Structures are given as structure tokens and as C-alpha cells.
Amino acid sequence: MCGIIGVENTQDAATLVAAGLMTLQHRGEESAGITISGNANMKTFRSMGLVSRLVNADALNKHDGTAAIGHVRYTTSAKSSLINAQPFQIECIHGQVAVAHNGNLTNFIKLRDTLLKKGAIFNHTSDTEIFLHLIAMSKGNFPNVVAKSMSLVEGAFSLVVLRDKTLIGARDVNGFRPLVLGKLGNSYIVASESAAVEVLGGKYIRDIKPGEIVVIEDGKIIKSFFYKKPKKQHTCIFEQVYFSRPDSVAFGQSVKAARMKMGQFLARQMKGIKADIVMPVPDTGYYAALGFSRESGILFEQGFVRNHYLGRSFIKPAQNMRDMTAKLKLRPIKEVIDGKEIIVIDDSVVRGTTSRRMINVLKEAGAKKIHFVLSCPPIIGPCYYGIDTPLKEHLIAATQSVEEIRKYLGVESLTFLELKNLVNSCCPSQTCKSVFCTACFTDKYPTRISKDAYKECG
Ligand code: AMP
């Protein structure tokens, strides 16, 4: 997954983008980048690791510009390298252009092969570079050129594009990944999540619509149009379950409210269950556990303390530290857990490996009985639209029954939120028009997936 943001019409554009990226840090910790434009030449700063590493660079603070875009990246480790850190900046017939992308293109390999045969030179291995080639090869009015590039790609893409002082925010026709529009004084902000707008002191205005391209310049929306007629949207329901911040509005619905509802529904599914406490796996399980507690009347407790200073980049390369990771990341509070029958709420089971380690940590802390509860259904299909889920054979629920998983995890009971209850949690009102992509739970994909669909977050 990745996070993107753009700010225009302010001398503080780079600083605001940096602060916005810090708010989007949970969407990607592997690399960060900012492109600044509008006054002098366009310049891009990129770095591996957290946004804080980038922001410390003196050059970033000194570079003058009135518009900026930024990106935080989350990929599989093999492809995580500085060369693929975004934004990508090029010089072409349209001048200097930069793009930052959240999502996955499902026809990337095919498009790249076609472009290679035409003589295109690729500098990156990320699918995002396709947009730059398509933009560079197309003539005409710039927003139309961006629209044309979007009409040729398939899959999931929310984009921020920068050219001189013009900022463009755009979403694919299915609306897989979120992108919101906000206002701060005389400036517009485009960001993956509303929290990134609000942290800057801005106001969330609305979601950019599936298929919409919003062109912004000098604090005004100079054009808003659709590159393709949207038929049916397929917003990613996993944004509500796991990815988005609880203080964000995702696809028009408060993430915190949706997670509370998931907990309520789970308590109804498990009506009559007796336990001493209900506790979350921090941080994503927090509101579902609170909702469960309120619905069931079972006492809510915080049985884990999470260490917030362990980045993925620290944990991943250290193979010999894998087993220690669960203990480093989550420390149990023995006093809360010892001798108790507990309901533990997490968002999802993917491979099952970290869940098993976490459950062992609870047993070592003296848990008498553990009921493990998940705020989504079993994940049976990989995501081709930007969530970093492994291939089908590594998804525990794709190969094992719920009872087999329960035994493997070593818990008293195992409960998944039913799909209809998940959808109702995320779309409760009569007026809600959201239609979700639930492919990871159903193995039914809303778009064509080519055999070589690119499984890498742009
Ligand atoms: P596992 O033990 O492999 O099933 O991992 C379960 C944990 O992974 C849960 O605590 C989730 O919060 C977390 N998780 C779910 N989806 C992702 C993802 N795409 N990337 C990283 N962690 C995830």
C-alpha cells in the first residue's frame, strides 16, 4: 500500500506535504519522497525509510516552490529500493512532470512489453513508470494527456500529478483506492486520507470520484472531468478494516465508526459468549474491541502494549529475529491477562504466522482460554489492487478450514466477521452508495486479472 498527497498555491507546499506524509506514514514505511515545483525548476527528494529521514534533508527545506506532491511506499522487500521510491519526475514534451501513485496496475507487464518494443527505456521496476511513458508519448492539452494515459491502464490507481504549479488529483474508474480533496486557506490539498488534510489545518471537502480528474491551479479548480464513464465503483473494503486511520473518513464513512460497528456485529454473531475481558491487538483491533465490549457488556481491557518504534525495515532483514519480533512488537500486561478467559480482537488473519506467535505470547502471560476474533472474513484471494497480501498458497484461509486454522493457532474458538456484516458496518445508511471490492474474501475480482498481473504497489 502507499500514501499520496499534493498541496498547491502556497510557499509552504513542501513543508505541508512533509507533514501530510507523516500522517500517512502507516500506508508505507519503506521509502518517502517529495517533488517541489512552481517557482524554480522542479526538484524531487527521495529517501529510503521514514518521512522523518527525508524531512531532515537541508536541501528540502531550502528549495523554493508553491506546489508539491509526496509519496510513502510499502512494497514487498525484494522490490523495495531507492530507484523505485516515488514521486517519479521526468522531462518531456510537456515540460517537467512528476507523478505519485497508490495502487496496482493489472495490465502493467503487457503495456511495458508494448512500450519496450517501441523503444521505450525503463528506469524503474515499478508499474507507476507506465504513466510517465504514456504521458510523454501523447500530445495535446496536459489534463487530456493525463486522461489518455489513465484510459490505457487497468487496475487500481489514485494519482497526484505535478506540472509547474498545476496539481492534478485523479482516481481510477473503479475507485479502488481512496483520494480526497481538501481546502486550506487559498490552497487545495489532495490526499489519500482525510486525516492528512485535517492535520494541516485544512478542511475535508469531498472524495475525488471514481474516474474523475481534478485539475487545480492558483487555488482554483480549473477543470474536473471523467476519463471514463464510471459504471460501478469497487472501493476497497480492506481500507476500512485495516489500512486507513480511524480518524479518517474513507469512502464517505468514518473509519472509527465502521470498526465500532464491526465489533458490534461480531458480538451479535457470538451472542451468549462468556469471557472475563475483551482486548484488542493494537492498533487496528482497538475500535472493533470497543464496539464488541459495548454490545456484549464484556469488560474492555488493554492487554498489550505496542512498541511503536519498530519499523518494517528493521524487522525484515533480520531473519534470526523473526521469532523475537512478536515479543518486541507486542508486550502483554500479565496483570490483565493472567488466569483470564479472554476475547482477543484483531483485524485479519493473513498467513497465520504472526497471529500464532501473538497467541503464544498471551499464553505465556497466563491466559486461561483465548477466543480469537477477526473483524473481517477469511482472506482467500490475493489482492491485485495494492494491498500487500501474499500469493494464494500462502494465505492460510485459502488452504485450511476455519477449524484447521483454530487448531493451528491453538485457541478455544475462532470467529470471523461475516461478509454481509462487514459490508453493513462500512455502509450503514440507506443513502450509502458504496459498492465494495471484496475480492480478497470471495476470490471474485471486479476487473480482468491477467496471468502476469503485477503484484507490486506503485
Ligand atoms: P498473519 O499472522 O500472517 O495472519 O498476520 C496477521 C496480522 O497482519 C494482523 O495483525 C494484521 O493486522 C496484519 N496485516 C493484515 N494485512 C496486512 C498487510 N497487507 N500488510 C501487513 N500486515 C497486515
Interval 29-65: pLDDT, tens: 999 999 999 887 999 999 999 999 887 666 677 788 9
What's the rounded mean pLDDT across residues 300-311?
A: 89
Rounded Cα gap, residues 270 and 442, in angstroms: 22
Indicate if the pLDDT at residue 263 is higher than 80.
yes
Residue 322 pLDDT more than 80? Answer: no
CA distance 296 to 293: 5
Identify whether the C-beta of residue 408 lies closer than 8 Å to the C-beta of residue 126.
Answer: no
Answer yes or no: are the C-beta atoms of 73 and 48 closer than 8 Å. no
Other CB atoms within 10 Å distance of the CB of residue 334: 13
Q: For residue 84, what is the DSSP state?
A: G
- How many Å apart are CA 172 and CA 233, to the nearest integer? 9
Mutate to test the pocket of ligand 1, among 236, 283, 349, 350 (most ligand atoms within 8 A of CB): 350
Looking at the predicted structure, is the pLDDT value of residue 214 above 90?
Answer: yes
Instruction: Please tell me the predicted confidence (pLDDT) of residue 312.
Output: 56
**Mean pLDDT of all residues in 17-30:** 95
Q: Which residues have CB under 6 Å of ligand 1?
A: 242, 281, 284, 346-355, 387-389
Contact 439, 381 (CB under 8 A): yes
What is the Å distance from ligand 1's center to 355 Cα?
8
Asked if the model's pLDDT at residue 407 lies above 90, the reply is: yes
Dump strand ranges (E) for 375-412.
none
Confidence of residue 454 (pLDDT cuts 50, 70, 90): low
pLDDT at 79: 65
Nearest to 40 by CA among 130, 164, 153: 164
Q: Which atom of ligand 1 is nearest to the CA of 346?
A: 10
Give me the pLDDT at residue 316, please: 53
- For residue 389, how far is its CA from the centre of ligand 1 (angstroms)? 8
pLDDT 10s digits, 102-161:
999 999 889 999 999 999 999 888 899 999 999 999 999 999 999 999 999 999 999 999
| Atom 13 in ligand 1: residue holding the nearest Cα | 348
> Order of strands across the sheet with 166-171?
88-92, 95-102, 158-163, 166-171, 212-217, 220-226
Which residues are known catalytic residues? 2
Tell me how many degrees the CA angle 238-242-243 measures, rounded to the nearest 5. 85
Lowest mean pLDDT among 92-101, 187-196, 197-206, 245-254: 245-254
Q: Domains, the chain, ranges and CATH? A: 3-234 (3.60.20.10), 248-430 (3.40.50.2020)
| Residue among 399, 304, 318 at smallest CA distance from 351 | 399
Q: Which atom, in ligand 1's list, is nearest to the CA of 351? A: 3
**Long-range CB contact pairs, 225-228, < 8 A, 24+:** 225/143, 225/147, 226/173, 227/146, 227/147, 227/148, 227/150, 227/151, 227/170, 227/173, 228/150, 228/151, 228/173
Our mutation pick for probing the ligand 1 site, out of 354, 358, 384, 402, counting the most ligand atoms within 8 A of Cβ, is: 354
Check residue 54 and give its pLDDT.
87
CA of 418 to the centre of ligand 1 (A): 18
Q: What is the pLDDT of residue 66?
A: 95
Find the 360 Cα to ligand 1 centroid distance in Å: 16
Helices (H), 251-317: 255-269, 286-296, 312-315
Indicate the pLDDT class of residue 78, thresholds 50, 70 and 90: very low
From the list 194, 182, 180, 192, the residue with the least C-alpha distance to 219 is: 182
* Model pLDDT, residue 67: 97
Q: What is the pLDDT of residue 14?
A: 94
pLDDT value at residue 310: 75
Count Cβ atoms below 10 Å from residue 160 Cβ, excluding itself.
29
Q: What is the pLDDT of residue 317?
A: 46
- Give dist(CA 292, CA 286) in Å, integer: 10
Write the pLDDT tens digit of every residue in 348-406.
Answer: 999 999 999 999 999 999 999 999 999 999 999 999 998 888 789 899 999 999 999 99
CA distance linking residue 153 with residue 450, whole number of Å: 12
Mean pLDDT of 337-353: 97
pLDDT band at 76 (very low <50, low <70, confident <90, very high): low
Q: Point out the ligand 1 atom lying closest to the alpha carbon of residue 281.
A: 10
Tell me, what's the pLDDT at 123?
87
Cα three-residue angle 398-303-242, rounded to 5 degrees: 40
Atom of ligand 1 nearest to the CA of 355: 2
Percent of the chain with pLDDT over 70: 91
How many A from CA of 242 to the centre of ligand 1? 9
Atom of ligand 1 nearest to the CA of 356: 2
Angstrom CA distances, 151 to 21, 155, 201, 210, 455, stand at: 28, 11, 34, 13, 20
* 153 neighbors 28 (Cβ within 8 angstroms): no
Q: Of all atoms in ligand 1, which is nearest to the CA of residue 1?
A: 19
- What is the reported pLDDT for 331? 94
Contact 263, 291 (CB under 8 A): yes
CB distance 206 to 154 below 8 Å: no
Please check whether residue 172 is in contact with residue 150, taking contact to mean a CB–CB distance below 8 angstroms.
yes
- Tell me how far the alpha carbon of residue 224 lies from the centroid of ligand 1, in angstroms: 37
pLDDT averaged over the chain? 92
Q: For residue 376, give the nearest of 330, 323, 438 by alpha carbon.
A: 438
Ligand 1 centre distance from Cα of residue 406 (Å): 17
Q: How confident is the model at residue 77, as a pLDDT?
A: 43
Distance CA 281, CA 300 (A): 12
Residue 26 has pLDDT above 80, yes or no: yes
Q: Tell me the best of 25, 26, 80, 242 to mutate to test the pocket of ligand 1, counting ligand atoms within 8 Å of each CB and taking the most.
A: 242
Report the nearest-CA residue for atom 20 of ligand 1. 388
Taking CA atoms only, the protein residue closest to ligand 1 atom 19 is: 388
- Amino acid 191 reads A
Q: What separation in angstroms does the CA of 256 have from each of 28, 193, 236, 370, 425?
A: 20, 13, 16, 25, 11
Q: Higher confidence at residue 324 or residue 382? A: 382
Question: Is residue 198's pLDDT more than 60?
Answer: yes
